[in-house]
Amino acid sequence: MFLQILMAASFLIAGYQDVRERLVSDMVWIPAIVGVALALYFVPSEDIVLLVRIGIIGAIALVITRYGFVGEADGIAFVLVVADPTPLAPLPVLFAVAAVALSHIGYLYATGLAGKTKLIGIAQFRREARWIPKAVIIGEEKKEVDSNVNISREDVEKVADESAMVEVQYGVPTVAYIAVGYMIYLAYLAIFQTSVLLSLP
């Protein structure tokens, strides 16, 4: 249960940062990483399932993060969810994350915020981290940016021309979805599987 408390602390702070700024501090993950280390210490030597699970999802997260399909914080959050040693994890968490994400993304599409590009000034782009850049427009010249979400923003922020416009898409708060999904899962354990939750290290 100590692991779940530490993970909940990390996810709550990370989710808040993601909603507010779309930027998650690396320091946020320290409590969860400490909790995972403690959980691994208490896992019986014959229980290799947790280690295999972390290894497989960790490798997948590394690849999709490396190629820029998700942000670095998103990859870390997925690996931490999988590291929960609860027998039921991670499937219920992932189902909860999917439900939260689909609901919010559906709302964004319904309100017209997601699914289309828009033009904003470079100053607004620098102020608001919720935008994923697709191209920079300076005068009549339009230049596509790298599709890797982990480097495209930094490249655009280096543009010196203050009259530049940036073609952007709305970036969804994936870490916040994971955080809410994990909290739903903890609430489920606390209400319906209290003995399982209390039996965890």
Per-residue pLDDT of 19-76, as tens digits, reads 998 889 999 999 999 988 887 777 665 467 778 888 888 899 989 988 888 889 999 9
Q: Which helix (H) or strand (E) holds 145?
A: none
Backbone angles phi, psi at 170, to 5 degrees: -70, 130
Which region among 3-7, 17-21, 70-74, 133-137 has the lowest average model confidence (pLDDT)? Answer: 3-7
pLDDT at residue 197 is higher than 70: no
pLDDT at residue 18 is higher than 80: yes
Q: What letter represents residue 49's amino acid?
A: V
The rounded mean pLDDT for the chain is 88
Which residues, at least 6 apart from 153, have a Cβ–Cβ distance to it below 8 Å?
129, 132, 133
Q: In what order do the strands lie in the sheet with 131-138?
A: 118-121, 165-170, 131-138, 141-144
